[in-house]
Amino acid sequence: MSRLVPLLTLALFWPAPARAKKCIGHAPELLELDLQGVYQGKKRVPTPAFFEDRATLKNPAGDGKTLLLQNEPEGHVAKLFGLKRTLPPPKAVKAALARAAGKRHRTACGTDIPYRPIRPGLYLFEREQSGGETSSLIDSPALTVRPDRRSVELRFTIKKLTYVARYRVACARFPVAAPSSCRPAPKP
C-alpha cells in the first residue's frame, strides 16, 4: 500500500498528453454549382465523362483567396485555384460580401474567426487537391467567379482545344453556420 500512494499521487498530477487541435483561420464559404454545359466557342459540346452535373466551390485556404473546385459526388476533378485578379461586383453584391465579411464565428478552439466570402474574380490553377503540381484530366484550367456571383466558368484545354464549362450557382452558404445543403430537398 505504501508503494501505491506515491504512484497514485504521481498519476493524479502527471500532465495529460496534449490533444492536437487544428484550428481554422477563417470560415470558408461554399457555393453549390450545377453544370449548365460545356462549350467550345459558342457551340455546346458533349460533356467530358469525368465531369459531374454538380460541383462545389469553396475557399478553404489562403485567407479565402484559394478556391477548391470539386465535382460531386465522385470528385474526379478536385483542383485548387489562387486569386489572380478580382472583378468589381455590382453594388448589391458588394454590400452582401461586406456583411458576410463582417461576421465572426467562435471555433471549438475558442477563437473568433472571420467569415470569408468567395470574391468575384479570375483564379488560376495552383495544384491538384491531391498535391500534384500538374493539372490532371484537363490542361490550363482557369476559373472565373462572375461579378454577380450567379455563375462560375471553368476554362480549360484538352488536346490543345479550348473549352468552357459553365456552372450556375444553385446556392451559397457558410458550412459553419449551415452545415447541410442549401439546395431544395428532392421531391419524393
Let me know: does 155 contact 163? Beta carbons within 8 Å. yes
Residue 17 confidence (pLDDT) = 44
Q: Which three cell numbers stand for residue 57?
A: 466551390
What are the CA-CA distances from residue 71 to residues 119, 124, 148 (Å)?
A: 20, 18, 22
Residue 10 confidence (pLDDT) = 40
Domains present along the chain, CATH in parentheses = 23-172 (2.40.128)
Structural element, H or E, at residue 11: helix 4-13
Q: Distance between CA atoms of 144 and 124, rounded to whole angstroms?
A: 9
Phi, psi of 129 (to 5 degrees): -60, -30
β-sheet bridge partners, residue 158: 161
Q: Which three cell numbers stand for residue 18?
A: 496534449
Residue 146 confidence (pLDDT) = 97
Residue 30 confidence (pLDDT) = 92
pLDDT in tens, 28-37: 899 999 999 9
Residue 131 confidence (pLDDT) = 74
Place of cell 504521481: 10
Residue 64 confidence (pLDDT) = 85
State the amino acid at position 169 in one-letter form: V
* Low pLDDT (below 70) residues in the chain: 1-22, 74-76, 132, 183-188
